[in-house]
Amino acid sequence: MKIENQLPQIINFPEVNMTYAKDQPEYRPLPCFTKKGPFGELTCCWKFSLRDRLKILFTGVIWHTILTFNQPLQPQLIQTDKPEMK
């Protein structure tokens, strides 16, 4: 099975103001909302398949992999509520 079949769908949303990796075929483009300021926030949205949603419902577990390229880790936040985007 291809890994793409196992990945959640990346969702485009009205507040998107930047897309990472749009010209990098080795990565999936990542539409996101970025906000300047002291935190330099980046917000993106993912949709899980029915199979994955059921798995999350019963296990309560989501695995989150971050490619740091051996650089310091940035703070991460995973949530179910849409954050404020102004």
Asked if residue 33 belongs to a domain, the reply is yes
Whether residue 35 is contained in a domain is answered as yes
Instruction: Specify if 20 maps to a domain.
Output: yes
Residue 79 lies in a domain: no
What average pLDDT does this structure show over 55-70? 91
Average pLDDT over residues 57-67: 91
28 found inside a domain? yes
Assess if residue 32 is contained within a domain.
yes
Cα separation of 8 and 41, whole Å? 21
Burial, 31: exposed, middle or buried (Cβ in 10 Å; 0-12, 13-18, 19+)? middle
Instruction: Tell me the per-residue pLDDT of 15-27, one tens digit each, with 9 for 90 and over.
Output: 999 999 999 999 9
Judge whether 84 lies within some domain.
no
Let me know: does 14 contact 32? Beta carbons within 8 Å: no
Residue 7 lies in a domain: yes
Q: How many domains does the chain have?
A: 1
This prediction has a pTM of: 0.78
How confident is the model at residue 49, as a pLDDT?
A: 92
Q: Which domain holds residue 17?
A: 3-59
How far, in Å, CA of 11 to CA of 37, rounded? Answer: 24
Share of the chain above pLDDT 70, in %: 94
